Amino acid sequence: MSLLLVSCLTLLPYLLIPTAAQTWTSCNPLNSTDCPPDLALGTSNASFTLNSTSSFESSLWNTTAGALTYNSSGAAFTIAQRGDAPTIQSKFYIFFGEVEVWLKAAPGQGVVSSVVLQSDDLDEIDEEFIGNNDTHAENNYYGKGNTTDAYERAKWYPLPNGGSPTEGYHNYTTRWTNESLEWYIDGSIVRTLAYADANGGASYPQTPMNVRIGIWAGGDKDNSNYTVQWAGGEIDYSKGPYTMFVQSVRINDYSTGSEYKYGDTTGTWQSIQTVPGNSTALKILTAPPSESVTQRFKGLSHGAQIGIFSTIIAAIAVCVGMWAFCCVKQRRAGKAERRVADAMYEKDTAELMAYRATRRKGGHVSEREMEDEF
């Protein structure tokens, strides 16, 4: 057996594995003409910053198979226990375009971080990162779910300048047209796939795709031996948690329209129909931000502003009047209580003086003894 053949057989298990965690479709247009149309992104340079739930356009994404946490470092995708595979999936599709992700892959044997573009008929474009491979990233593609010829499709590339996928953030960009597919790492192109080079175009990804970003346990013991080996070995959940961070995502849809429809069951890019109009996604992205109270007030007419001021002044006047009334009432009550106390004091004093006078008149006690008595 030649050395080349031995090398190929050694590498084969690592190259035969599809990205199993994110790849699925609810309705395959190759098998049905009743699949619903795909919501188009329909715009260029849609940017999503994943440092908080409020800044992340969750109305345009679904979070599946777990929950994300957010901080200044980005969105954290964490495997904390068996079964965890947090993933976000765009509700919109692009029909050729560009996807740029700033990502720090999760370290750990058997842990797979991934960025996947996938269509309803299982065309697919991948960026994948194995947790115990600290030098290389893998890219791959599939046409119509065809997993044959994996050796020709999956490629591993070192990060520029000796970088590591699990140390620091890196820019992973995919540019996709009807003529070629390009992968970039930190701005440097690492691979180009021409349409004709993908089985004459039959295996070339060419139908509208959504975007899926997630982490999964390729090394779980229930996966096939090939998958576990490709993922770097069996995962040890006790050594977790394992976390991938994503700072931002920028997406450019090269087509415009409201929806993308499959015109037939061929799955060719020429069969895709673009429905004219502005998409729901575009309307959400271009909607003005919520106005502050000050901004809403400035937007009112002059008469409405005067009315609001008058109402506020009237309310303040009522409050001041009630406060003054309470003060006067309290003061009057205090004076009445003081008059009662003074009257009682005067009465007690008068009674005391009369008692003393009676005692002295009888000659029973001296003035000093009377003072000592009281």
DSSP letter, residue 200: G
Q: Which amino acid is at 225?
A: N
C-beta of residue 237 within 8 angstroms of C-beta of residue 81: yes
CA dist., res. 371 & res. 315, Å (int): 61
Output the CA torsion 254→259→260→262 (10° steps).
Answer: -170
Compute φ and ψ for 185, nearest 5 degrees: -130, 120
Structure tokens at 347: 């009465």
Q: What's the longest Cα–Cα distance across the chain? A: 145
Query: Where do the DSSP E strands lie in the chain?
Result: 38-39, 46-49, 61-64, 69-71, 74-79, 87-90, 97-104, 111-119, 124-130, 136-142, 155-158, 170-176, 180-185, 188-194, 209-217, 242-253, 259-262, 272-275
Structure tokens at 111: 């842990």
C-beta of residue 80 within 8 angstroms of C-beta of residue 49: no
Place of tokens 């993922």: 231
Tell me the H-state helices in 115-161: 150-153
Residue from 98, 100, 124, 127 carrying the catalytic annotation: 124
CA dist., res. 121 & res. 124, Å (int): 9
Query: Active-site residue 182, yes or no?
Result: no
Structure tokens at 23: 């790849």
C-beta of residue 245 within 8 angstroms of C-beta of residue 103: yes
How buried is 289 (Cβ within 10 angstroms: 0-12 exposed, 13-18 middle, 19+ buried)?
exposed
Query: Active-site residue 124, yes or no?
Result: yes
Residue from 57, 100, 127, 128 carrying the catalytic annotation: 128
By DSSP bridging, strand 69-71 and strand 209-217 are unpaired
Active site residues: 124, 128
